[in-house]
Structures are given as C-alpha cells and as structure tokens.
C-alpha cells in the first residue's frame, strides 16, 4: 500500500541527441528574470522536470502558470503562487506553493493540476507522433509576464517506430524499439484506441501493439469474440524483433476482463497487468471459437447516483459478480498459467475494483494458485495512467455517453500513477524475459 510517493523518482534520459535549451526568458524583457526547465526543455512524457526561476527580487511573490491544448482543442491551465528566497530564486522541487491549483511542495504540480475552464473534461493526448506541448510562465502579482519557456513532452523516443496495423480483424498501432532486439511483446488493450501508454512502453524496450476493445460505436456491438484478440497475440509473436516466448497484456477498465479472458482461454499469455477492471465479462456476451464462453454482467441504472456537479457515480449500478445468479459472467482465472498483477484503487467510482480483485485472489487461492501480485492504492481513482498528465476527476464515459465521477484525491492519485508506472515495467520485464542468444526472426 502507498499513501503519498515522491514524484521526483524515476528520472530517465531522453537522448544524447537532444539539444539542451534550459533558459528561455522573453527577449523583450529588460528584467534578468529567467525560467528554466532541467535537465532539458524537451523530454519524454513520463519524465520529470525541475522548474527553476532566478533573477527575482528577494522574497518576491510571483505566480507560475502552465498551459496546454489537447487534441480536441480544449485548453488546460494551472497556476501556483510562490515566494522567492532571499536570493530571488524559486525551485519548485524545494519550495511550497502558497496557493493556486495546489498547495505545498509538488515538483510536478503545474503539470498534473492543469484543468479546463469547464467541468468534466479529460485531457486527450492519445496520438504518439506529436509531443505534449506545455507553456510555462512566471508573472508578477499584477499579472505582467516576466519569463516563459516551452516544454515539449514527447511520447515517442528517438528510434522508436510507429506502424498502423490493418491485418485481418486487427485495427491497431504497432510500436517497436530501436535496435535488433530481441524484445518482449505486449498487447496494450484500451477501451478505445489510445497510443500513449503503448509508445511509452516501447521507449522502455517492449514491442507493443495498441489495440482498442471497441472499434465500432458501443451501441452497435452486441457480442464480442475473443478470437479477434487472439489474432492480435499471434501477430505480436510473429514480429521480427520479438524474443519473449509469451505475450504480456496491459489493460484497464473494460480491457481488464478481456485481458483476463485471454489469459484463461488463449495459450501464450505469460503476464497480465489488470488495472481497475472487473472480474466478470462486462456488457455483452463473449464468444470464442464460435461458442459463448461468458455471459454479460449488466447494470441496474436505477442505482446510479447523480451529483450536484452533474456527474454520476455508476459504481453501485454494476451487478455483483459474486452472487450465484452471475456466476456465468465471471472469468475463470484459475485456468490461466501466466502471472497476474492486479491493481485496484480504493476510490474507484467507476466500479468496485477492489472487491473484484479480492474475488480473483480468493478464486486463485482456492485452486491452489499463487501466480499473482496485488497493488492497492488508497484514495486513488479509476483513471490510473502514465505519470505527469493532467489529473481527471470526472469526464464523459465513452460507453455510457454521460458524465461520470472517476474518483481520486489529486496529489495521492498522481503519486500512485508514478509508483504504478515503475511497477508495471518491472513486472513485465520479470515475466517476459527474452533469451538474448536467440537471433531476431527474419
């Protein structure tokens, strides 16, 4: 368990080819105020930066701001008030914010606290080719800008290849690290297509296929076929640079029960990361080899809770997979031979992921199995993502088309994201190890 974690951990190096641009003050300003991003103003999306201001008056109070625009054109902003030290310097790693979007020492607070002016907005940054561009600025109390700098937060590292895949029933994007390999293979399952997590994992040395659970409008999907996802697994295993015998699967939400089903029914799944998912097949029946293998777990919408903000809590509307009448919806995880990393957030308001995790653990133990690890994050919400993106407490639900509350206390949630991101990499590398003596496939 964790409560809060140091957001400064896990600093990686982007590339020796990156040109460092540390100081970018406004050229027209007569002042000597400078705003620096260390170690570089260009980095990977999941890398921390150190924000420093110099040249202020002793003990001067200023406001630091961050602004970014997402792929849908929505503008997100954050601000925090700081007091310079006696030498006129501010170090966000060291100094506390006095007020604003967050309070206290939060080294990456300007990034994760950004939000839109209207409620229930999720920051869409799902395409890998374009960086997440954030403008940082420092302002006097009267509002005049003293300095600014642009932070380019790249999703794809140098040498990583991105190839759209349209092969059979597969509609996804393949990311491959630079070099000859061999590399372990990972299937990244999102409810709807997103490249962010997949390409960030490719930066770490994995061949990753980003795949959506839904390629059509959810209302048009009356049943699902596990064969389509098995096809993606076989596609990954055939990639020239793949050296792991089995494939890993990383998933969250609806992708979680598909990942469990792959592990239970399809050979070759060696590791599954299940994040705030269900222990049962949600929504529509699941078929494999032309036979129905799991009935759908449904919802009782009379149990939805409407909040004053207009968002709804749907956690209590999902039928309980633990009761007898729903036993045919539960994934038989005891059939799986691979390893599981089960991750549940205490404040997940989408569904009761902690109860589902406990159900799977109990089921595995009942069958004499110990092929699992668990992580439980108190006060974190449903949307656990790679670190340093804007925290999202509520947004439109992609399957239900109304606003829902995801849950989570901001600073606690983002600390959990950082801890989990490092744990995911460790888990996948441990259970998808490659034989380096094997030559890459031709």
Residue 27 in this model has a pLDDT that exceeds 60: no
Give residue 25's pLDDT.
43
Residue range 279-301: mean pLDDT, rounded: 97
Which of the four pLDDT bands, split at 50, 70 and 90, describes residue 11?
Answer: very low
Exactly one of 78, 113, 194, 253 is catalytic; name it: 253
| 348 catalytic residue (yes or no) | yes
Residue pair 415/384 in contact by the 8 Å Cβ criterion = no
Give residue 118's pLDDT.
94
Helices 226-237 and 254-265 pack at an angle, to 10 degrees, of: 70
Proportion of the chain above pLDDT 90, given as a percent: 88
Residue range 411-430: mean pLDDT, rounded: 98
Q: What is the pTM of this model?
A: 0.91
The CATH architecture of the domain made up of 34-154 is: Sandwich (2.60)
Residue 19 in this model has a pLDDT that exceeds 50: no
Choose among 235, 245, 10: nearest CA to 107: 10
Residues of the chain with CATH 2.60.40.2240: 34-154
Is 88 exposed, middle or buried, given 0-12, 13-18 or 19+ CB atoms closer than 10 A? middle
Exactly one of 70, 348, 352, 413 is catalytic; name it: 348
| 169 catalytic residue (yes or no) | no
Per-residue model confidence as pLDDT tens digits over 49-64: 999 999 999 999 999 9
Which of the four pLDDT bands, split at 50, 70 and 90, describes residue 256?
Answer: very high
| 300 catalytic residue (yes or no) | no
Give residue 359's pLDDT.
97
pLDDT mean across residues, the chain:
92
Per-residue model confidence as pLDDT tens digits over 291-348: 999 999 999 999 999 999 999 999 999 999 999 999 999 999 999 999 999 999 999 9
Choose among 316, 338, 297: nearest CA to 430: 338
Give residue 437's pLDDT.
56
Exactly one of 120, 132, 382, 413 is catalytic; name it: 382
Residue pair 54/36 in contact by the 8 Å Cβ criterion = yes
Residues of the chain with CATH 3.40.50.1820: 161-431
Topology of domain 161-431, per CATH? Answer: Rossmann fold (3.40.50)
Cis ω before 104 (30° cut-off from 0): no
């Amino acid at each position: 368990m964790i409560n809060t974690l140091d957001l400064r951990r896990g600093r990686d190096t982007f590339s020796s080819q990156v040109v460092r641009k540390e100081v970018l003050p406004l050229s027209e300003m007569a002042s000597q105020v400078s705003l620096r991003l260390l170690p570089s103003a260009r980095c990977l999306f999941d890398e921390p930066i150190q924000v420093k201001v110099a040249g202020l008056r002793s003990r001067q109070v200023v406001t630091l701001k961050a602004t970014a625009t997402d792929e849908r054109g929505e503008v997100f902003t954050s601000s925090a008030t700081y007091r310079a030290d006696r030498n006129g310097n501010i170090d966000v790693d060291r100094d506390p914010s006095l007020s604003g979007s967050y309070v206290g020492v939060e080294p990456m607070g300007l990034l994760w606290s950004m939000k839109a002016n209207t409620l229930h907005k999720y920051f869409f940054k799902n395409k890998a080719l374009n960086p997440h561009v954030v403008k940082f600025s420092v302002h006097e109390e009267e509002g005049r800008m003293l300095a600014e700098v642009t932070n380019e937060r790249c999703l794809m590292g140098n040498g990583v290849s991105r190839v759209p895949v349209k092969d059979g029933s597969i509609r996804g994007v393949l990311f491959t690290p630079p070099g000859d390999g061999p590399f372990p293979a990972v299937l990244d399952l999102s409810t709807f297509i997103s490249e962010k997590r997949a390409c960030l994992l490719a930066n770490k040395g994995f061949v990753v296929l980003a795949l959506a659970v839904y390629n059509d409008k959810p209302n048009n999907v009356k049943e699902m076929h596990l064969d389509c996802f098995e096809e993606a697994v076989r596609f990954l295993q055939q990639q020239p640079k793949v050296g792991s015998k089995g494939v890993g699967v990383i998933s969250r939400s609806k992708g979680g029960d598909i990942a469990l089903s792959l592990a239970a029914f399809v050979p070759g799944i060696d590791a599954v990361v299940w994040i705030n998912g269900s222990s049962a097949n949600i929504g529509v029946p699941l078929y494999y080899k032309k036979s129905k293998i799991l009935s759908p777990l449904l919802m009782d919408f009379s149990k939805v809770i409407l909040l004053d903000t207009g968002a709804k809590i749907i956690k209590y509307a999902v039928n309980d997979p633990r009761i007898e009448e729903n036993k045919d919806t539960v994934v038989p995880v005891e059939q799986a031979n691979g390893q599981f990393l089960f991750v549940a957030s205490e404040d997940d308001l989408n569904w009761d992921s902690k109860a589902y995790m406990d159900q799977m653990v109990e089921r595995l133990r009942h069958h004499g199995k110990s092929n699992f690890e668990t992580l439980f994050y108190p006060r974190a919400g449903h949307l656990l993502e790679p670190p340093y993106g804007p925290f999202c407490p509520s947004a439109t639900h992609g399957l239900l088309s109304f606003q829902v509350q995801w849950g989570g206390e901001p600073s606690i949630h983002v600390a959990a994201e950082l801890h989990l991101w490092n744990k995911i990499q460790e888990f996948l590398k441990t259970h998808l190890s490659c034989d380096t003596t094997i030559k890459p496939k031709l």
